[in-house]
Amino acid sequence: MTEQQRVHPVSEAFAANAWADKEKYLSMYQQSVDDPEGFWAEQAKRLDWITAPTKIKHTVFDTHSVDIRWFEDGELNVSANCLDRHLASRGDQPAIIWEGDDPGESKTYTYRELHARTCQLANAFKELGVKKGDTVTLYMPMIPEAAMAMLACARIGAIHSVVFGGFSPDALAQRVIDAQSRLVITADESVRGGKRVPLKDNVDAALTRDGTDVVDNVLVVKRTGGDIDWHDGRDVWYHETVDGQAETCPAETMNAEDPLFILYTSGSTGTPKGLKHTSGGYLLHAAMTHQYVFDYKDGEVYWCSADVGWVTGHSYIVYGPLANGATTLMFEGVPSYPSHGRLGEVIDKHNVAILYTSPTAIRALMAHGDDVMDSSKRDSLRVLGSVGEPINPEAWEWFYRVIGNSKCPIVDTWWQTETGGIMIAPLPGAIDLKPGSATRPFFGVLPALVDSEGNILEGATEGNLVILDSWPGQARSIWKNHDRFIQTYFSTYKGMYFTGDGCRRDEDGYYWITGRVDDVINVSGHRMGTAEIESSLVAHEAVAEAAVVGYPHDIKGQGIYIYVTLGDEYEPSDALKKELTQWVRKDIGPIASPDVIQWAPSLPKTRSGKIMRRILRKIAANETEGLGDTSTLADPSVVEDLIDNRVNRG
C-alpha cells in the first residue's frame, strides 16, 4: 500500500545546488562499497590530523572476535577539529545560538568565544584533577555549558558520559558507577516548558547510593539560582572555578581509536549498555553525514531539536555541525511552550535553514491543527529532518506542507546510538522521497535484510535489518564489557551487525523501517528496554509479576502497556495503579511513565514458563482477532481473561 503513496521527486533547482545530486550519490556510494579503504582515506582528509592515518580500516565482524578499528595510526584532537581550526576563517561567526526556554532569553557564542570558554573549562578540569582517560558524567540542562563540557573533555582526552536530565537519581547513579566517573557536571536546576527540574537535588540523591564514592567533585552551573544543598569539599560552582581560568589550553594528542565518549542505551535485557565511541571515525561520520544528509551550506543556521543527552544531540547538535564550522542552534525549551507556535517562532527569530526533529514533536503539533503555525512564516527553511522513530506518512505530509510550506525536502534518517551517525537517509538533492521511508544507505553503509536463520534476502522483501560491514562511526564496544557487545550485536547472525530493527525493502531498493523486533520499545523516540521497566515493577512489594509491551500510540509512536500480577495479599485499585506509576517514574525517570496498567490474574506462558509477549502485544494493540497459535500455552484460558479485561484506551 505504502509504495503507492505520493512520491516527492527531487527538485531540479535543489539538485543543482546540492552537495550531491543523483549521479554523484550513486558514484560515491559505489566507490565507498567497492573500495572502502580508498574512499575513507580520501574522506578522512576533511579532518585536521596531527598525524595523518595510513592504516584505514581494520574491522572484523567475527562472532568470536569483533574488532573494529578505523584510522588506527592517525592522531587528532576532536575539540581542535570543532574549534581551533575554524578560528582563522570564521572566528567571529556564531558557533552556537542558544535559545532559552523563555522566549526572551537567547545568547550567541562565536567560534572564538566557544573556543575560549571551552579552554577555560578544560583548564578547570585539570585543576580538579581530571586526566586523559578519566570519565566525566554530565547531567545537564540544554545550555551551552553542556556542549562546552563535552568539548572540554575531548580537549584533554577525558571521556564524557552524558546522562539525559530526565533520568532518575537511581538511573544516574547506575551510570556514574558503571563509568567510574570522578567528576559529575550538573546545574542547580533545568528549565523546560516553564517548569524547573531539580538536577542538583537528583545528583545529591544519586551520590548517596552505594558505589558512588568514586565521585570526588560535582561542578555546578548556576542556571536558575534556585535553592540547593551544598556539600563542602565536593561541590564546586562552575563560575567560580571556570571564569578565572586561562582562555587557551593545549589540545591533547589523541589516537583515532581513543574513546571520545560513552553513551548508555537500553537493550532487550539487563542494565543499560555504555556504548563506547572513539575519536577519528566517529567525528568523520558525524561531520560527513551532517554535510551531505542535511545539505548543509556555509553560514546557514541549523537546528537539531534533540537533547544532548541522546546520541542525536551528540552527533548533530555538537560534533557534526561544529566539525563543519556550522552555526548550531541549541534549544532549552519544548515546542509547546509558551504556545504551540514556538517551533516556528524560533525558526523565524534565528533564520533557521535546517530543522531536524522527531515524529513525536510533529504529531503533537499536528494534533492542534494547521493554524498552530500561524504565528510564524518559516521562509528561511530549506531542509527538514526526522529521526528516532518511524514517521507515519500523514505526519510526514503535514511536516512537509505546514511546517515546510511545501518547499523543503524531508530527510527521514534511520540510525542508532550504536551507529554513531546517520546510516539510511535520502540525500535531499539525490533521492526522490517517499513519505515514511528512510530510503537509501549513506556512503559506506551496507544494509541487508535477513530471515530468522540469517539468510540474506534479495529484492523487494521484508526481514531483519543487518549491516554487513563496518562504517567509521560504529560503536567499538560496550564499556568494559566486550563480550556483551559481541553477544548483543554479532551473535544473532554470524558475521553481521544486527540492528534489532525490522525492515521492508521495496522494488526501488528503498528501506522502510518497521520498528524493533526485540524487547525494546520506542516511546516518543526514547528507547527503553521492557526488561528494565519490568524489573523496576517487580521490586515493588505488591507486584508478583509484570510484563511490559509497547502499543501503537497516536502521538508518542508507542505507549507503555503494563500487565501486572499482584501478590496474593494485594487487591487491585486505582490508588495502587497510581502508586506503581509513581514508582517507575521515580526509579527510572518520567520518560518510563506507564500509559496503561492492566491487572492480570496471570500471564500467558508456554509450558516451559516463558511469557508469550507476542500475545500480550496483540492484546495491547487491540488486535485480538489474529492471536495466532495459543495451543502451546500452559493455560490458554489466561488469554480470554486478558482480552475481556483489556484496558480501553479510547
C-alpha distances (whole Å) from 355 to each of 523, 568, 632 are 21, 53, 49
The one-letter amino acid code at 562 reads I
- CA–CA gap between residue 369 and residue 402 (Å, rounded): 10
Which stretch, 4-12, 166-174, 409-417, 603-611, contacts ligand PRX (CB under 6 A)?
A: 409-417
Among 312, 439, 488, 598, binds ligand PRX (CB under 6 A): 312
Among 388, 404, 444, 589, binds ligand PRX (CB under 6 A): 388
Please, what is the minimum distance in Å from the beta carbon of residue 501 to ligand PRX? 5
Residue 412 in marked binding region: yes
Residue 349 in marked binding region: no
Residue 605 in marked binding region: no
Which stretch, 164-172, 191-199, 382-390, 626-634, contacts ligand PRX (CB under 6 A)?
A: 382-390
- For residue 63, count other CB atoms closer than 10 A to its CB: 14
Please, what is the minimum distance in Å from the beta carbon of residue 516 to ligand PRX? 5
**Using rule CB under 6 A, residue 444 touches ligand PRX:** no
**Using rule CB under 6 A, residue 413 touches ligand PRX:** yes
Please, what is the minimum distance in Å from the beta carbon of residue 6 to ligand PRX? 19
**Using rule CB under 6 A, residue 478 touches ligand PRX:** no
Among 47, 66, 343, 513, binds ligand PRX (CB under 6 A): 513
- CA–CA gap between residue 37 and residue 566 (Å, rounded): 58
**Using rule CB under 6 A, residue 519 touches ligand PRX:** no
Q: What share of the chain is helix, strand, coil (3-state, %, to 5)?
A: 35, 25, 40
Nearest CA to 621 out of 571, 556, 563, 559 is that of: 559
Q: What is the dihedral of CA 419, 422, 423, 425, to 10 degrees?
A: 160
The one-letter amino acid code at 558 reads Q
Residue nearest to ligand PRX according to CB distances in the complex: 417
Q: Which residue, 249 or 438, has its beta carbon nearer to ligand PRX?
A: 438
**Using rule CB under 6 A, residue 434 touches ligand PRX:** no
Among 93, 106, 416, 630, binds ligand PRX (CB under 6 A): 416
Query: What are the E-state strand segments in 36-86?
Result: 57-61, 66-70, 75-76
Q: Which residue, 204 or 412, has its beta carbon nearer to ligand PRX?
A: 412
Please, what is the minimum distance in Å from the beta carbon of residue 341 to ligand PRX? 26
Q: Which residue, 158 or 513, has its beta carbon nearer to ligand PRX?
A: 513
Secondary structure (H, E, C), 400-468: HHHHCCCCCCEEEEECCHHHCCCCECCCCCCCCECCCCCECECCCCCEEEECCCCCEECCCEEEEEEEC
Residue 195 in marked binding region: yes
**Using rule CB under 6 A, residue 389 touches ligand PRX:** yes
Nearest CA to 540 out of 586, 606, 495 is that of: 586
Q: Which residues contact 547 (CB under 8 A, 6 or more apart)?
A: 530, 534, 562, 563, 600, 603, 611, 613, 616
CA 94 to chain centre: 25
Residue 543 in marked binding region: yes
Q: Which residue, 68 or 438, has its beta carbon nearer to ligand PRX?
A: 438
- x/- map, 253-272, ligand PRX, by CB under 6 A: ------------x-------
Q: Which letter does DSSP use for residue 4 in this model? A: G
Residue 650 in marked binding region: no
Positions at the binding site for Mg(2+): 538, 540, 543
Interface contacts to ligand PRX, rule CB under 6 A: 265, 311-312, 387-390, 412-417, 438, 499-501, 513, 515-516, 522, 527
Instruction: Provide the annotated binding site.
Output: 192-195, 312, 388-390, 412-417, 501, 516, 524, 527, 538, 540, 543, 585
